[in-house]
Chain A
Amino acid sequence: MFKPLSMQRIELSLLKEDAPHAALLLANYGSFDPEISEILPEQFPELPGEAYRLEYSETRTHLDKILAHYEIDVPETVDAPMQTVTPQQLTETGVWLKSVWGKCSEVQEGIHRLSEEHRHASQLLRALEQFSDINIDLTLLQKKSSLLDVRIGTLPRTNIRRFEEALALAGFIAIEFSTSEEQINVVIAGPAGQTQEIERILQAAGWRTMEIPAEFHGSPDEVRRELSENLARLSEQQAQENARRLAEPSKENLRERLLDAAHILSRAAPYAELAGLMRGRGALASMSGWIPVKQLPQLKKMLATSFGDRFVLLVRDPRADERLRVPSAIQHPGWLQPFASLVLNYGVPRYGEIDPTILFAITFVLMFGMMFGDVGHGATIAFAGIMLRRRLGQYSTLAITIGLSSTVFGLLYGSVFGFEHLLPALWISPLSDPMRMLGVALAWGVAFILLSGMLTIRNRIADGRMREALLDSHGAAGLLLYLGLLSAGWQYADSGRTGMAPLLAVCAALAIMFVHSWQQNRELATGERLLIAAIEGYEASMTYISNTLSFLRLAAFSLNHVALSVAVFTVANMLQSTGYWVTVVLGNIFILGLEGAIVGIQTLRLEYYEGFSRFFGGDGRKFRPLRLGNKLVASG
């Protein structure tokens, strides 16, 4: 729970014909994270299953598109999970799905066409209102003339000026008579005999010829009615097409056949995924990846049961140079999941690094409670977490725990919905002794940073970076500097003087960091090297001090909480009984919503910036075991 599971790298070599079965076995096993085979391409030059992978990828694409088209959800469980999918079976499924998608695509095209017609008809209807603005007889637009070429149509709005200028070069004029956000209606006129030239411009401009109803000139109302009827008919057709689309799967067992295909592809997925990573030669195939050490005996047993002695399994520990490539498998109990999500939001722990989830959970809950201590508010948050557990999912636990923490601190502070006199404070009312609160917050910050520093040293040692663990500003030297600064500060605050020991510690730490930085920047010019080494020591000192002071916000927000409550009650006291209670209730809702959110963000900020940024690399690789599944295999 405190660090990712110990992993081992395996190289499984077996007969090529057994590879699909092995892929299914490993997917059902659920603890194998595949990686590209370490065998040299010269030794195993072939890519067995490449054709299978491509076939799967294309088939999967078609299935996904069909399922989206028919709005069918696929169950997460997979039928007959150990039944292999042969290349022939995959091809047959692919051919069938391609033909189904062909039909779906035609339907989509039809729906799209209806939608375009609808858009066009709507625009025509809008344009109708402005036809009267044109000062010419529109029936002329439909008459062919040997001298005059007149056309009416729509264009995209963009580039209309250039269109008019280009037409002018060909001796044409353009009259705009109706515009919308996207389109513009235009009448163009010019000398006949330049059909080809004009049509090329129209084509490039995205011209769409407008059909003028024959009776337009005579009775616009009739045209309006006809267009409205046309629109209604198109809407009805669209609705019918959509209803037909959704009803289609119930015909000829299409839904069942599609679900069968989905199961087939789910079983084909592991081999398709492995195919992109494994190598082969002749009748042999080799696949590689990572498994948790504790799962190795089970894997050996499964392989022996399935393949007898027809396989070779090579196992080795991770090398120091591949630490970043080793996946981090982290297991947490259910109640820690929301905290784990927040940790993963920052990054995945490196392999071998401390998993900070438990520490994060404890400190997050405590810091939130300290900043937002109120029995009433805490109980409300916890109660909301319980009542909304379905909607909040895993975050319900987070709400409950921070709510309880807030309640406990509320008891310590003696605060209930901002009322400071209903309960006696078990420890201290924040506003009664702000200095004490600030002192506690500072002490918490010191403890937090010291713990972070120790974790940093531990992680660097585990990472094989011993020099950095000892000499860096975030390593032991940094910790010595911090302890020296703390001790000096304490002595000065206590007696107005500083002893020799803390000063020596500070100087020694700075000297160590200087030498470390000097040696690390060998390639730089002497002046620049000197500057960097000097600034690093100064920066480390300032960072430690500012990071510690950053924790004063723990006290500041607890004081702020009381101050906000005082403000609410001050306003409430100015009103009569109804107004008083309305103000108290609204004020508490305001505090709960706004201050609660701010405190949550501040707590997260302290965790991420003052904690994680010191000791947590967060650049690990998440353990992603091979599984049966409904997912696409990346090409290439």
Chain B
Amino acid sequence: MISARYAYLQTRISLYAGQLLGLGQLNALIDRPYEADTRNAAGTNALEQYSVELDQNNVNILLQELAVLMRPLSGAPRELLNYWAHRFELGNLKAIIRGKMSNQPRSAIEEKLQDMGEFTSLPLNELLQSDTPAELLRRLEQTPYIDIARQARQLLEQGEALFALDAALDRRYYAGLARRGATIDKSSGDMLRTLTGNIVDRVNLVWLLRYRFAYNMSPAQAYYLLIPSSHRLLPQQMQQLAQCASFAEAIDKLPAPFDKILAGVRDTTEVTLKLEQENWRVANNILRSSSFNIARALAYMMLRERDLRRLRAIVSGRSMHLGAAEIRSALGLAGNGVANV
């Protein structure tokens, strides 16, 4: 029954999976002679504009493919994939809140927004029409983001930095992703929980290290700001890591399997890259070795986003005439033993 239900989905994913980039293709793009580029490095403004277009283009591609994959789905699986797209809207909401808080003109804020097409759920135009931060929050209270609006109002009254608000928005999003992943039925649930759980673990660990050792927050505060969900990194383990005195001590005390994955890392950027690669490895395994489950759809979307981000980074790097080694390093492809993910 499940096979029949998801036949269209599986065929679509298999077709789409054929367009994922292999390491060889990436290397060919990075090592391509500069003379072969039709677009040369222009002025800074043109480059910025080009980057904005690329970002929008990538979002368009992802959302178009997501819409196709969502077609045969209903209920919780559909809701999960729809929610995955929601994070682009989160970026829009952050841009509007930041823009309004710093009194930016509407046109300047609009330039930073991504067009979400049919996936748009926020009344962006109404939010943009607000004259003051207070008015923006009143309008936001009419949306599902009422809790964020109330918290933002409190922070605004206390003159707090926007960091807390951004953190609250991200925390809310990832907690929602973990919750939705957990509601999928058993046939696809285990793999989905692995995928969403890995994402949550990665974000939690990176945030924990950053809050504690880059922002110098107290263990209690850093721990509170993490996503209230976990997969392989248990709450007690996170509490212990939060109480470490230094970055090196925290890395030394990492539980398995993170101790092996992150052996020898020097900063949170490396942690992010290594954990992302681990997530992509898992997604790749699910995509290649499983069949007839929703997890493949999410795995494909994760890998597709990875490819588009890499392409954007390569284009931006080449526009700035960076060397192949620098581009590889930024993509986490440098060094020996790079996994083919």
Contacts and interface: CB of A to CB of B under 8 A. Distances in A.
Nearest to A62: B131
Nearest to A105: B135
Interface stretch (B8-16, B88-96, B146-154, B268-276): B146-154
Main secondary structure of the interface of B (DSSP, over half): helix
A567 B104 CA distance: 71
Contact of A165 (B129, B131, B239): B239
A516 interface: no
B220 A201 contact: yes
Nearest to B154: A206
B106 A166 contact: no
B243 interface: yes
B134 A61 contact: no
A204 B228 CA distance: 13
A170 B151 CA distance: 23
A158 to B, nearest CB: 7
Interface string B65-88: 000000000000000000000000
B226 A162 contact: yes
B135 A169 contact: no
Chain A, interface size category, equals: 20 to 34
Interface residues of B, number: 36
A167 interface: yes
A576 interface: no
A163 interface: yes
Interface in B183-228: 217-221, 223-226, 228
B167 interface: yes
B106 A165 contact: no
Contact of B235 (A65, A165, A167, A201): A165
B242 A169 contact: yes
A159 B107 CA distance: 36
Contacts of A208: 154
Contacts of B221: 166, 197, 200-201, 204
B131 A206 contact: no
Given A102-B131, A169-B243, A162 B151 contact: no
A223 interface: no
Contacts, number: 83
A524 to B, nearest CB: 15
Interface in A91-136: 98, 101-102, 105, 108-109, 112
B61 to A, nearest CB: 22
Nearest to A61: B129
A112 B138 CA distance: 8
A319 to B, nearest CB: 29
A108 B172 CA distance: 28
A205 B224 contact: yes
Nearest to B223: A166
B168 A204 contact: yes
A112 B142 CA distance: 12
A162 B154 contact: no
Interface in A130-165: 156, 158-159, 161-163, 165
A43 interface: no
A635 interface: yes
A635 B107 contact: yes
A208 B129 CA distance: 30
A167 B220 contact: yes
A631 to B, nearest CB: 13
Contacts of A167: 220
B218 A108 contact: no
B110 A636 contact: yes
A203 interface: yes
A198 B220 CA distance: 8
Given A169-B219, A169-B243, A203 B228 contact: no
Given A105-B134, A169-B220, A635 B106 contact: yes
Interface string B114-156: 0000000000000001011011001000000001001100110
Given A201-B224, A203-B160, 11 more contacts: A61-B129, A108-B138, A109-B135, A158-B228, A159-B228, A170-B219, A203-B154, A204-B167, A204-B168, A204-B221, A204-B224
**Which 3 A-B residue pairings sit nearest by Cβ, starting from the closest?**
A166-B224, A170-B220, A169-B220
18 contacts: A61-B129, A102-B131, A105-B135, A159-B228, A162-B223, A165-B223, A169-B219, A169-B220, A169-B239, A169-B242, A197-B220, A200-B218, A203-B154, A204-B167, A204-B168, A204-B221, A204-B225, A206-B150
Interface of B: 106-107, 110, 129, 131-132, 134-135, 138, 147, 150-151, 154-155, 158, 160, 164, 167-168, 171-172, 175, 217-221, 223-226, 228, 235, 239, 242-243
